[in-house]
Amino acid sequence: YQQNPKTYAIVKQLLAEGNAGELQKYFGSRMEFGTAGLRAAMGAGISHMNDLTIIQTTQGFCRYLEKNFSDLKKRGVVIGFDARAHLSSGGSSKRFARLAANTFISQGVPVYLFSDIIPTPFVPYTVTHLKLCAGIMVTASHNPKQDNGYKVYWENGAQIISPHDKGISQAIEENQEPWPQAWDDKLIDSSPLLHDPYAMVNKEYFKDIQKQCFYRNINKETNLKFVHTSVHGVGHKFVQLAFQAFDLSPPFAVPEQKDPDPDFPTVKYPNPEEGKGVLTLSFALAEKDGARIILANDPDADRLAVAEKQESGEWKVFSGNELGALLGWWIFTCWKNNNKDTRAVKDVYMLSSTVSSKILRAIALKEGFHFEETLTGFKWMGNRAKQLMDQGKAVLFAFEEAIGYMCCPAVLDKDGVSAAVITAEMASFLATRNLSLSQQLKAVYDEYGFHITKASYFICHDPKVIQQLFDNLRNFDGKNTYPKSCGRFKVSGIRDLTTGYDSSQPDQKAILPTSKSSQMITFTFANGGVATMRTSGTEPKIKYYSELCAPPGNSDVEQLKKELDELVSALEKHFFQPEKNKLQRKTE
């Protein structure tokens, strides 16, 4: 019996054509449920996001939660969704969210289902605020338009980490047959177990982020103008409300991009990380309205890109590391001005991921607070932040280079809404001192030492070549010896998070968790350089991230850039060996 006529028709057509290859693609293997949940194209078959795979996933998740929480039926779960939709298969984020809600409600579990589209950070916020057992956000963030995803939060308000992914994955395998009435999502509308947290969260979230508002009077008076784009996603309304909460005049919204549109018609990729291409319309509006600063969210509004018009008339798009430096400086400065007890700094923490700039470490050393690095991804920062907060520590800020920022302890994940309005307040404050964001960034580097970063990747579709490349690094000068140098650059330390080796630890064992299934080696160089090589969990890429950290006082930026460029060239030539390994370069 066909439950979804559209996916049914796709499969029926392939059967009629006897198209074994395509059928193999649709039904050959199930989507893998990992710590980031699911992320795949919408369409027919178990390898895609569709009504059936959402029901199966939620049935598994429900059983796993029942096993872990005796009070699941008292506390419940929250479910949110973005504006994605796929005409040809009938899939949409809203439909998937309703099917997931139906699954839980059929088992007597209360569901807080948002009645309208929301930013991703509202789900972890609601888990924490209402003390729920878990949260689900149906979104594919900044992925291409045909994709969707299913992101899962645990009761601590952070994304799940191992072993939960394995446990949920196994439970999905064990609960594949749809339960009775699994498809009938209309049942939820009359159920007393269905709650809508939309109005409450829209009030409470904006109340909570105001704890991060320190210069209301400046905000009211500022004549700085901002442009905001939500890139056809969910962010528009919520950034407008955030500005209102901080007493800032509303930003000019890019009209062609402010309303949700699952086709993302004005951009090639709906990803503000891609830089200037996504911002073309924003630049035009800013020129027209005389705005100096552009704030751009990705479609699910958990990330933020910022651009500023320079004296020269050029636009500068800040990298994730640069904005991380500015926000880290700003949030600590605001904390210091509001905490006169100098001893309190001992309980202050900031976090960033291993592949992000170490600028926070330099600020922490000079100012006396704690800095910790975590593995890549906000799931690690969110979970670590919660541990520290439970020990009575203040976690002021966490960031990753992929333009993700956690500026507000009420959300233990990246949040592009609070980051946008806090950036606007910082810019307004700096304007009263006649400083631009770029000038302040230079001031931060002058005070704490220049941190220059450069990241890129190679594409490689052959897992054997990737394995060989990393094996070669582990047996560089004979068996079990890592490289002692890279071209003219002397290696002073090695951390291998695939094997758990760390040359800087007394017992040579790495402190951060290790994972045999992914490749990641970090090299420290005698000249203050650091370079990490890692495989991507979601794409056929070998990525590298490099940084040169200079001590305060060394302000010859051009010389530092040249040094980093040479280090990166040596890294590519000696460690990647692109010709020998037939690697394809990132094309700009």
- Inter-residue contact 522 to 400 (CB < 8 Å): no
Residue 113 has pLDDT above 70, yes or no: yes
Domain-embedded: residue 92: yes
Domain-embedded: residue 152: yes
Domain C-terminal end among 290, 317, 344: 317
Counting the structural domains of the chain, the total is 4
Could you tell me which residues are beta bridge partners of residue 520? 534
Between CA 289 and CA 48 the distance in angstroms is 44
Q: Are residues 279 and 351 in the same domain?
A: no
- The enclosing domain of 579 has a CATH number of 3.30.310.50
User: What share of residues in the chain are helix, strand, coil (percent, to 5)?
Assistant: 40, 20, 40
Q: Are residues 40 and 115 in the same domain?
A: yes
Between CA 192 and CA 257 the distance in angstroms is 37
Query: How much is the pLDDT for 380?
Result: 96
Residue 122 has pLDDT above 90, yes or no: yes
Between CA 269 and CA 58 the distance in angstroms is 29
Q: Are strands 38-41 and 147-153 parallel, antiparallel or unpaired?
A: antiparallel
Question: Burial, 60: exposed, middle or buried (Cβ in 10 Å; 0-12, 13-18, 19+)?
Answer: buried
- Mean pLDDT taken over the chain: 96
Mean pLDDT for 268-282 is 91
Q: Are residues 381 and 483 in the same domain?
A: no
How big is the chain by its Cα radius of gyration, in Å? 24
Main-chain dihedrals φ then ψ at residue 397, nearest 5 degrees: -165, 145
Q: Are residues 102 and 135 in the same domain?
A: yes
Mean pLDDT for 569-583 is 96
Domain C-terminal end among 397, 431, 446: 446
Domain-embedded: residue 365: yes
- The enclosing domain of 338 has a CATH number of 3.40.120.10
Domain-embedded: residue 588: no
- Inter-residue contact 585 to 543 (CB < 8 Å): no
Q: Are residues 453 and 396 in the same domain?
A: no
- Nearest Cα neighbor of 474 from 451, 457, 449, 499 is 499
Query: How much is the pLDDT for 276?
Result: 85
What angle (nearest 5°) sits at the alpha carbon of residue 579, between those of residues 574 and 580? 75
Catalytic positions are 141
Query: How much is the pLDDT for 23?
Result: 94
Mean pLDDT for 471-485 is 95
Over residues 351-382, the pLDDT tens digits come to 999 999 999 999 999 999 999 999 999 999 99
Q: Are residues 307 and 244 in the same domain?
A: yes
Q: Name the pLDDT band for 554 (thresholds 50, 70, 90).
A: confident
Q: How far is CA 453 from CA 227, 358, 523, in A?
A: 27, 10, 14
What is the value of pTM for the model shown? 0.95
Query: How much is the pLDDT for 474?
Result: 97
Domain-embedded: residue 178: yes
Q: Are residues 299 and 338 in the same domain?
A: no
Residue 588 has pLDDT above 70, yes or no: no
Q: Are residues 8 and 139 in the same domain?
A: yes
Q: Is 352 left (phi over 0), alpha (psi -120 to 50) or beta?
A: beta
- Nearest Cα neighbor of 299 from 261, 254, 265 is 261
Between CA 23 and CA 11 the distance in angstroms is 8
Q: Are residues 117 and 20 in the same domain?
A: yes
Residue 566 has pLDDT above 70, yes or no: yes
Instruction: Specify the DSSP class assigned to residue 257.
Output: G
Q: Name the pLDDT band for 539 (thresholds 50, 70, 90).
A: confident
Over residues 197-210, the pLDDT tens digits come to 999 999 999 999 99
Strands (E), 447-568: 451-459, 485-486, 489-496, 501-502, 520-525, 529-535, 541-549
Q: Are residues 16 and 63 in the same domain?
A: yes
Over residues 479-515, the pLDDT tens digits come to 999 999 999 999 999 999 999 999 999 999 999 999 8
Range of the domain at 492: 449-583
Q: Are residues 165 and 291 in the same domain?
A: no
Q: Name the pLDDT band for 136 (thresholds 50, 70, 90).
A: very high
Domain C-terminal end among 430, 446, 462: 446
Query: How much is the pLDDT for 245?
Result: 98
Q: Are residues 346 and 230 in the same domain?
A: no
- Nearest Cα neighbor of 77 from 142, 22, 124 is 124
Residue 1 has pLDDT above 80, yes or no: no
Domain-embedded: residue 310: yes
